[in-house]
Chain A
Amino acid sequence: MAICAVYTTNSLHSTCFVPTSTKTHLGFHQRQVFFYTSGKKTRKSSNFSEISCSAGDANTVVIGLAADSGCGKSTFMRRLTSVFGGAAEPPRGGNPDSNTLISDTTTVICLDDYHSLDRTGRKEKGVTALDPRANDFDLMYEQVKALKDGIAVEKPIYNHVSGLLDPPELIKPPKILVIEGLHPMFDPRVRELLDFSIYLDISNEVKFAWKIQRDMAERGHSLESIKASIEARKPDFDAYIDPQKQYADAVIEVLPTQLIPGDNEGKVLRVRLVMKEGVKYFSPVYLFDEGSTVSWIPCGRKLTCSYPGIKFFYGPESYFSNEVSVLEMDGQFDRLDELIYVESHLSNLSTKFYGEVTQQMLKHADFPGSNNGTGLFQTIVGLKIRDLYEQLVADSKATAPLQATKA
């Protein structure tokens, strides 16, 4: 099999640049590589024949998002894709249990698809999905690298319902590729491919509270079973997942509130956005004055706050011996439209117009976290990623002719 028929279609959004000189680096875009040529059954051949020209003459921008299961990755992804416009949907007509989300600009792939052991395999070996031995980092690296270079790949599908590895699906190189899962920054080769990385750091107390909210009504679950599940996964989580946060360009920490003494409910949250300094194309957000240390309680005549109120903090800190800027919000909004008051005091948001953060938040008022710092900081990170993408594309457009003449 593996007949690599490739058409260069102009019908797709991006313009297809066919180089006249065969030596330019752009020639790589016209190739398609199959990593799966085993006898596995594949879908209709029509899926194979077209290949998009990725982001015109720019390579795919790759974003990594790391977080544990049940820590809000999917909500973050919905906020992120919304910033780029257009709804993200599973691939049309493919496997109904596919984990992939595709929109006009963004493709989100779930790294669980690179499990090397399926559910039964992990049970036999006595390893969890968090364990590197249950994941195929070679394939992850090869395929992310290929997509970044504008080459479509046949990516396996890990079926979360059956626990089996399903036949692969074709992923075309998008403008923005987001890889989300447990290990996007674990393997140094994959880490090297990331243009930006995010880690969602949920404290144990909040994780427990969220899982109770998620699972308590589920048949068979009890407080004990939720606790046992978290406890059993914790050693592997601490060994393999948590250390990745030192590599992230942005970390969103979710902690119990300090506004209510002894609160453990996980409803009121203290959320910290930790932003690395000195990252190219990424200038951290600041409150009032860049580099100062500021504590701000916006509640008063211009912002309605009920108990326990809202408290902001901003300042420079060090994080794993990196210089970072931290923006913190404790508490929650009562009226989402008043968020504009907070937005007007933040700088470097990378918005296209005044009020865009508030507008994005209002658009998804029903998402979890819309009334606290998780939603606010996820939205801000989404805008920062858009900015980073636009700068990268502008830069590569400026340098592309140079490279062509060199070649």
Chain B
Amino acid sequence: RMASTSSTPEKIAEKVEESIKKAEEACAGDPQTGECAAAWDEVEEVSAAASHARERQKESDPLENYCKDNPETDECKTYDN
């Protein structure tokens, strides 16, 4: 079993897990129903949201974030010339 990704926000990670469980239940009787397809569609939607959230988190650089709020500090000052 693979370890869970620490980078996915907890709230979304829980949603993914929960939606998969629900989809498996919804499809237990008949996998051809609309309810089953809708349930797996929700899994896809939440998984995509999780991936986007991970992407956003990866992009955020701690120093860049700090410098947005504190552009006047020594470590953030930049001059064009």
Contact = CB atoms under 8 A, between A and B. Distances in A.
Nearest to B17: A220
A229 B42 CA distance: 9
B35 A123 contact: yes
B12 A217 contact: no
Contact of B37 (A70, A74, A119, A126): A126
A216 B39 CA distance: 19
A160 interface: yes
B18 to A, nearest CB: 8
Contact of A233 (B16, B37, B46): B37
A49 interface: no
Contacts of A228: 23-24, 27, 40
B20 interface: yes
B2 A233 contact: no
A233 B36 CA distance: 9
Nearest to B1: A222
A163 B12 CA distance: 12
Contact of B41 (A122, A160, A214, A220): A122
A90 B11 CA distance: 21
Max chain B CB contacts within 10 Å: which of A214, A216, A218, A228? Answer: A218
B46 to A, nearest CB: 8
B41 A217 contact: no
Contact of B20 (A122, A128, A220): A220
A126 B23 contact: no
A161 B48 contact: no
A218 B13 contact: yes
A218 B16 CA distance: 8
Contact of B52 (A74, A119, A232): A74
B36 A232 contact: yes
Given A161-B15, A229-B44, A128 B37 contact: yes
B23 A220 contact: no
Given A161-B15, A232-B23, 14 more contacts: A70-B48, A122-B41, A125-B34, A128-B37, A128-B41, A129-B45, A211-B47, A218-B13, A218-B47, A218-B50, A220-B16, A225-B23, A225-B43, A229-B47
11 contacts: A70-B44, A70-B51, A74-B52, A129-B41, A160-B46, A214-B47, A216-B2, A217-B4, A219-B13, A225-B20, A225-B23
